[in-house]
Amino acid sequence: MVNGIIPLYKPLGRTSFDCVSQVRKIVHQKKVGHSGTLDPNVDGVLPICLGNGTKVVDYLMASGKTYRGAITLGFATTTEDLDGEIIAEQPHFQPLTQAQIKRGLHHFVGTIHQIPPMYSAVKVNGRRLYDYARRGETVTRPQRTVQVTEFTQLDEAIVDEAAGTQTIFFEVHCGKGTYVRTLAVDFGRLFGLPAVMSQLTRVASGGFDIQQTVSLDTLATAQAAGQLEDLVYPIDHALHAFAQVELTNEQWQRVQHGGFLAPSELNSTEAEVVLRYNGEDKALYYYNEKHHQYQPQKMFSLE
């Protein structure tokens, strides 16, 4: 079995599940997952986890994401992007100035609240929101708190006088669970204008940037040539934020059986530590303050 992480480039038109299914066929193993869904109309970085790599998905997702895209003002859709039906139009409005755009984007930097789009995979009462939307049903959507660390304009905005729209190009750095479609809609709402996310590319995720990604075709070619593992990053790529301790033979024997370890053994005061043996990440242990010892939080490998 192949263990690790592949920074895959997800093309437009494919779902994240499509990509996972294709990778399973290429690598000939079932234990494959991704770290953060991308909509079909969004391309970019989609880290794919293989084998034991699936155990670090949460840590990849926690590292934040960076997107580049466009907000178009002048109309709104059911899906908050160009895939949906137009539900509002306000053509020939006064285009926003550079100062207004800068102020509007900065308004969303920090800890903010979002209402997920109806066309999203968020579950309410055991059903996906898009299930309600496709049936024409309404439901109260739960507000979520997300983190936006940077939201800036990339290029000069374009005004299409014939269409009655203005398009703003942006880059956003955000945390887990942020809906960039909703950022676009809320940006327009700030100025009393209907808006959509008209283009989006994820340029960084899970500590990988888009220059590091590989295509499905490249992956298939490498597999056929027996060079697949040249494209696979070890799971420690997702764990670099944690302190690391190299285990002795005796300690490793105990860890293999879920044994606890004293802080003095690990020479550590950290809340969480990655335990390594023979240069490989084996487990994540956390400090139990009540019992004054380190105990297993997640095991990555027992071999």
Catalytic positions are 39
DSSP for the chain, please give it: ---EEEEEEEPTT--HHHHHHHHHHHHT-S-EEESS---TT-EEEEEEEEGGGGGGHHHHHTT-EEEEEEEEESEEETTSBTTS-EEEE--S--PPPHHHHHHHHHTT-EEEEE---SSS--EETTEEHHHHHHTT---PPPPEEEEEEEEEE-S--EEETTTTEEEEEEEEEE-TT--HHHHHHHHHHHTT--EEEEEEEEEEETTEEGGG-B-HHHHHHHHHTT-GGGGPBPGGGG-TTSEEEEPPHHHHHHHHTT--B-HHHHT---SEEEEEETTEEEEEEEEETTTTEEEEEEE----
Question: Three-state SS across 31-75?
Answer: CEEECCCCCCCCEEEEEEEEHHHHHHHHHHHCCCEEEEEEEEECE
